[in-house]
Amino acid sequence: MPEHVDSPKEACGVVGIHAPGVEASNLAYYGLFALQHRGQESAGIAVSEGATIVVYKDMGLVSQVFDQQKLSSLPGHIAIGHVRYSTTGSSLWENAQPTYKTAGNLEIALGHNGNLINTRELSELAGEPSDSFGPDATSDTDVIASLIADSGKENAEEAIMEVLPKLTGAFSLVLMDTVTLFGARDPHGLRPLVLGRLKEGYALASETCALDIIGATFIREVEPGELVIIDERGLRTRRFAPATPALCIFEFVYFARPDSKLFGKSVYKARYQMGQRLALESPVEGDLVMGVPETASAAAAGYAAASGIPYGEGLVKNRYVGRTFIQPTQLIRQQGIRAKLNPLQEVIEGRRLIVVDDSIVRGNTTAQIVRMLRDAGAREVHLRISSPPIKWPCFYGIDTANRDELIGAWMSVDEICAKLEADSLHYLSLEGMVAATDVPGEKFCTACFSSEYPIPVPEHVAVTKHMLEQPPVVGGPAGRG
C-alpha cells in the first residue's frame, strides 16, 4: 500500500460461525477471504470444540496467513475471524485479532471492527496504566476484552452485557467463549454487522458478501444496541442500549463490496445512482467517462449513462498488489501509483476524459493519476468525485488522516482543482449522495463531510486529529469546497 493513500481505509472485517458438526474454521476462512478489502494487515481465527479456545493469527493477507494445514489444526464448530487495518494501535502482531483473554471462569476471544473514543477511561476500569491507553492507545480491543474477562461474572453473556453499555464509539463485535458465539453492534450501528442462517447453524459477518461465499442465507442486520447470542439452544437476542442508527455513509461510497447490501439496499445500485446524480449536478463535454479502479467503476458507469458520454476503461489495476513484507527499492517507491495503476494509451490519447473517483483525502494519489493520464496523451482531464469534500476526521474506525492533511478542509474546490492540475473538478453534493442510497439521511453518519458527529468527541481525542488547530496557509483563504 502506498505511503500516501487518497481513499479512507476501513478498520476491519469480522466473521463468526456457530455450526455443530462443521469445521467452522474453514467457513471463517472463506468469510474472511470475502472481507479482505476491509483489512490487509493481519488475519486471525479463533475456534472452540466446546472445551477450550485456540487462536491462530499473523501478519499478512488471509491467503498468506492460512493454508489447509493450519486450518486443519483449528478444529471446532464455533469460530470467529478477523482481518485488520490498524487505526488505533500500531501494525504489529500483538495487535492482530482475535484477541484472547482468560480470567477466573471466563475464557473469551474477541474481534472488533470500529474504534472507541473513551479508551482512556476504560483502561482505568481495566486496571491498565492510564498513560499506556492515551490518544494513541495500543488497542481498544484489548481493553474491551480485559473488561469482559475481569468482570467477575460467572458467564460470558452477563459479563458482555455489563461491559457493552460502558463503551463509547463504534463497535461491531464478534465474541466467543468455549460454547457460545456472540455478536454486538454499537447503539448507532456505525459499522455494519449482519446475521445469516447456515444449514447447520448461524453466521455473523461485516457484510452480506461474506454470507454469500459460505452459503449462508441472509436473515437481517444485527440491530444497533443489540447483542446476539448463539449456542446449542439456537438464537437469542438481548438489548443493551436503545437504537439510534447512524451507519457510516462511506460504506455505500467506498468500503463495502458492490455485491453487498446495506439497509437492504444494493451497494452497486447506490454507487451507480451517485454517478447519475453527479452527471446531472456537474455536466461537462467529454469523449470518454472512466472510473478509477475499482470502487469508482459503478459511479463512472452511472455518470456515463446519465450523460450519454461513452464509458470505457482507461486505467488497468494490478489486482495482485497487496501488502508485502519485502520493502520496495527507492526506484520502485518513486513510481508511486504506477505500481497499482497503468494507463491504456490507445484509449486515452487525444481524448477529453471525465475521470470519476469516489473520494479525495490528501490529493497526492489523485495528482499522480492526473499527471499519468496527461503523460498518456489525454487532451483534457475533468475530475468528478462521487462524494462531497472530506473536511473532518473520523474517530469511529476509519483512517481519514489528521484534519490538517485533509485537502478538502482547507482548500476551495477551485484551489484543489489547480493543485491537482485538472481541467475541472466537481464533487457530488451531500444531498445527492444521500439520496442515491434510497435510505433516509437521518440513518447515516456524515461527520467527515458535515462535522455532525453522532457521538460527541472528547477534547483530548480531537487533539490527536488536529481538529483544534488553525488551518495551514495554502495560498489563499479556504473556501467551502
Query: Each residue of 391-422: b (16+ CB within 10 Å) or e?
Result: bbbbbbbbbbbebebbbbbbbbbebbbebbeb
Name which of 310, 464, 292 is nearest 394 in CA terms: 464
Alpha carbon distance 11, 456 (integer Å): 20
Catalytic, 12? Answer yes
Name which of 392, 409, 378 is nearest 452 in CA terms: 392
Residues 186 and 167: beta-carbon distance below 8 Å: yes
Alpha carbon distance 463, 446 (integer Å): 20
- Residue 417 carries which DSSP code? H
Residues 356 and 250: beta-carbon distance below 8 Å: no
Residue 71: in which H helix or E strand, if any?
helix 68-72
Residues 321 and 347: beta-carbon distance below 8 Å: no
- Alpha helices by DSSP H, listed for 336-437, are 345-348, 364-375, 407-410, 413-420, 430-436
Alpha carbon distance 435, 423 (integer Å): 28
Here the cell at position 238 is 438481548
Phi, psi of 280 (to 5 degrees): -70, -35
Residue 43: in which H helix or E strand, if any?
strand 42-48
End-to-end Cα distance, the chain: 28
Alpha carbon distance 97, 113 (integer Å): 10
Here the cell at position 212 is 454469500
Active site residues: 12
